[in-house]
Amino acid sequence: MTDSSQQKQDQTRRTVLAVDNLQTRFMSRGPALKAVDGVSFSIGEGETVALVGESGCGKSVTAQSLLRLISPPGQIVGGHIYLEGDDLMTRSQSEIEDIRGNRAAMIFQEPLTALNPIMTVEKQLAEVLHRHHPQRRKEARAQVLDMLQKVGIPDPEGRLRAYPHQLSGGMRQRVMIAMALLSNPRLLIADEPTTALDVTIQAQILELMRNLCSQMGTALLLITHDLGVVAEMADRVIVMYAGRVVEEAPVRTLFAQPAHPYTRGLIQSTPNLATHQGQLVAIPGLVPTLADLGDVQGCKFAPRCSMATDKCRSEDPPLQTLGPDRAARCWYADEVMQTVSAQA
Amino acid sequence: MTGPEAMSRLAGSRAWASFAWIAPLNGRILFGGGLVLLIVFIAAAAPLLATHDPLRVQMSMRLMPPSADNWLGTDNNGRDIYSRIVHGARVSVVVGMAVVILTTVIGTFIGLVSGYFRRLDGPLMRFMDALMSFPSILLAIAIVAALGASIQNVVIALTVSFIPHTARVVRGKVLSVREETFVESARAIGLGDWLIIKRYILPNVMAPLMVQATFILALAIIAEAGLSYIGAGTPPPQPSWGNILSDGRAYLHNAWWMTTFPGLFIMISVLGLNIMGDGLRDKLDPRMEAGR
């Protein structure tokens, strides 16, 4: 699929999730830590958007904020989360609970611990149906079986009575996916769903998620630090750094022509057998801790950026629109894009 | 003749197969549990097992040593020690059970709420600490002194003094279970706090809770005997192991049976409970399981 046809399709898609200026903070003894600092993005029906960044950049907190799963000392202090037009921030606790697992579901990183060790697969899955569709209690078993079949679990009948420890990691993650998709959610948030699995299983699980989501028209927000997964799965990519979006672009554009030095650094630090076999380039330095961020004036990435100028160090760049579906938070986005295409 | 021998062994093992459910229980659970069951049986069947009326005073029979008629001798009022011990088992078992049930229910609730809702943790646990700072038996004595000595008040006193222990154990376990991903995942499928506590947290704290319950039962039996011994427990003339011991205190030199036998019964029941508790702990501790 070329970028232009992709974009056309995007415009006709209905927006499932729209996040506007989301701000999540962690209250500490000192100043509040801005874990998510004004993040905005949207996902359309059947679309897969990848949220990328190093550990500690705010990806997971963003994901948890979307379902308002942040617990103290964390707190969502501003912004709006629209799920199919409903602002989740104005909903009561019990309304949010009705939405979780029903209209929006989540898959976690560790399938080992994400299932209750003392509940059978059937009970665990049926819990979702009982919670959200109590009137359909009788059909629960049939629906659970059907879903287990869809996620490719061999001998689903036999697995109903299995406990999580009797299943392999890949099987557990399939059960998690089944659990998440059971009530046909409009939005699926997958927080590093394959990090704990080995590579061959990773590919199967990703394939499965992509197929099921496109069949069901579910919007998929995929949180990962693995650019290989991004290239494989995503339609669009959002790159986060220090709690903010630093770049947003369709997946091909992002890889071909990153517009932010951080994105370029991420791509360069990923091994690529096809193009070059030289030494990998690491981004110098570490993600600043949230407590240090308050001190950084100007661009938060400037201390690690090879292109940083005095302007970068004194003035914080806004997220600039670079074209349809493209934006980057860098004063020199045009130069970055040019240098990369020159290299290519 | 190895053939028939092997055959009979096979047949034997098949006969044993119907007892396969015992296999996961270890020896200590069976042995300790057996002693506990014995005591419970004695308590339940006391009227049938007793050879005399435990309350009947017979001054002509004072301080008789063990004999064919009075198996464990008589006390300073000529009452049959054996019959008194058998009836006293009822008090121990009833008090013990009541204390365990009340302590477990209330302590578990406090522990769950305190561990799960962090705002309540501070106040609840400080209150528990305050209760815990008194030695259990002293606290119990104080409560009985305030309420008056009766079996019911002994149960109340012991429950109050043991609740903090159970609450602490449960809270500690809740604190670790609530951070598990499956709790977050339960939240992510839309379950509310109470449902999560009931179906995800509570079942995962059951193991240490059961072990704790057996130890509380042992402690309650000792404490009831202790309270009765100092006259703050089961009011005479109703027999309890503690007040039989207490009666015998003055006659240690010339009627050893008055103190030895009730003491022995206390020891056997507490030993049985502790052995069973140890066995349960090993059985239910996942770390021990993994080592296997």
**Domain spans of chain B, in order of start:** 25-58+70-291
Instruction: State both tokens at A266.
Output: 């991420």
- What is the distance of C-alpha B61 from the center of its chain? 35
Report if residue A320 sits inside a domain. yes
Fill in the amino acid letter for A270.
Answer: T
Q: How far is A113 from chain B (nearest CA, A)?
A: 5
DSSP B122-153: HHHHHHHHHHHTS-HHHHHHHHHHHH-S-HHH
Report CB contact under 8 Å: B190, A118.
no
Report CB contact under 8 Å: B190, A98.
yes
> B270: closest CA among B230, B222, B209?
B222
Find residues 201-240 of chain A whose CB sits inside 8 Å of chain B: none
Sheet of A33-44, strands arranged across: A33-44, A15-26, A74-83, A86-87
Condensed to tens digits (0 to 9), the pLDDT of residues A136-169 reads: 777 888 888 988 988 888 888 888 888 888 888 8
Find residues 67-126 of chain B whose CB sits inside 8 Å of chain A: 118
pLDDT at position B90:
92
pLDDT at position B98:
96
pLDDT at position A136:
74
Distances (CA, A) of B66 to B39, B69, B82, B253: 21, 8, 9, 15
DSSP B39-88: HHHHHHTHHHH-SS-TT---GGGTTPPS-SSSTT-B-TTS-BHHHHHHHH
| Chain B interface mutation, best of A116, A119, A128, A195, highest count of B Cβ atoms under 10 Å | A116
- Mean pLDDT estimate for chain B: 86
Range from A132-136, A183-187, B173-177, B260-264 carrying the lowest mean pLDDT: A132-136
The span from the CA of A163 to the CA of A130, in Å, is: 19
Report if residue A96 sits inside a domain. no
SS3 percent helix, strand, coil of chain A, rounded to 5, is 40, 20, 35
| pLDDT bucket at B156, cuts 50 / 70 / 90 | very high
Q: Which residue, chain included where needed, has tokens 């009985």?
A: B144
pLDDT at position A342:
53
Quick check: A176 contacting B, CB < 8 Å? yes
Q: Which residue has the higher pLDDT, A209 or B8?
A: A209
Cβ contacts of A67 on chain B, cutoff 8 Å: 188
| pLDDT bucket at B22, cuts 50 / 70 / 90 | low
Report if residue A231 sits inside a domain. no
Cβ contacts of A109 on chain B, cutoff 8 Å: 181
User: For residue A331, what is the DSSP state?
Assistant: T
Question: What length is written for chain B?
Answer: 292
Report CB contact under 8 Å: A116, B204.
yes
Report CB contact under 8 Å: A116, B182.
yes
Task: State pTM to two decimals.
Answer: 0.81
Report if residue A75 sits inside a domain. no
Q: Which residue of B has its CA nearest to A72?
A: B118
pLDDT at position B162:
94
| pLDDT bucket at B2, cuts 50 / 70 / 90 | very low
> Is residue B44 scored above 60 in pLDDT?
yes
pLDDT at position B124:
94
pLDDT at position B241:
92
- Cβ proximity of A69 and A105 under 8 Å: no
Residue A328 pairs in a beta bridge with A247, A320
Total domain count, chain A: 1
Fill in the amino acid letter for A293.
Answer: L
Query: How many Cβ atoms sit within 10 Å of the Cβ of residue B58?
Result: 15
Cβ contacts of B185 on chain A, cutoff 8 Å: 106, 108, 114-115, 176, 179
Q: If one looks up domain B25-58+70-291 in CATH, what number appears?
A: 1.10.3720.10
Condensed to tens digits (0 to 9), the pLDDT of residues B201-254 reads: 999 898 889 889 999 999 999 999 999 888 888 888 899 998 899 888 889 888
Q: Which residue of B has its CA nearest to A68?
A: B188
Domain of residue A326: give its range: 260-344
> Which residues touch B130 (CB under 8 Å, ≥6 apart)?
none
Distances (CA, A) of A88 to A190, A243, B266: 19, 21, 62
Report if residue A318 sits inside a domain. yes
Report the SS3 class of residue A164.
Answer: helix
The span from the CA of B265 to the CA of B158, in Å, is: 20
pLDDT at position B13:
47
Interface ipTM above 0.90: no
Report CB contact under 8 Å: A100, B118.
no
Segment B27-34 shows an average pLDDT of 89
Quick check: B186 contacting A, CB < 8 Å? yes
> A184: closest CA among A129, A99, A102, A123?
A102
> What is the bridge-based pairing of β-strands A244-250 and A236-241?
antiparallel
- Residues lower than pLDDT 70 in chain A: 1-13, 272-278, 293-295, 340-344
pLDDT at position A259:
86
> A64: closest CA among A52, A56, A76?
A76
